[in-house]
Amino acid sequence: MMTDDKRILVAADPYAVPLKDAVAAHLREAGFEVADLSERDGNTCPYYESAVAVCKALQDGKASRAILFCGTGMGMSIVANRFKGVTAAVVESVYAARMCRAINNANVLCLGQMIWGPDMAKAAVDVFLATRFTEGLEGISAFLHEACGKVEAIRP
């Protein structure tokens, strides 16, 4: 289901709230509508709960992309990739944020508070949101489309 690309879902566990808040403010300043699904009953949820809330919202068509934050980004990525239709990538460089979109058509970016400073995280988010699937890789576009379909079909 295609949704408004100006709506972004975010969530953080308690360890990554400062990075999430910095990126969310940056997104709002850029004109995005940011829906923060980090809390339940006034408390910030652990990664294994907040990632679930975001992925269910993605599956329900509430947005087409999301950004998840935890200590390293890895826990969020592990949880998110359990959901059909979600391709989450934990990245540790701006280049990887670009390529997870261009190569893997990732719809969830996972960032770690212990890895990223706010300015570089904002740059990674910007490139993640601006990059199209197969952008710059048009010569292997057919292969990438086929590969993503085959990966999505793997459900042991």
Residue 127 buriedness (CB in 10 A; 0-12 / 13-18 / 19+):
buried
Q: Which of 55, 70, 100, 110 is catalytic?
A: 70
67 — phi, psi (to 5°)? Answer: -130, 125
Q: Would you call 100 a catalytic residue per the annotation?
A: no
CA angle 129, 133, 139 (to 5 degrees): 140
- For residue 7, the surrounding DSSP H or E stretch is strand 7-12
Active site residue ranges: 70
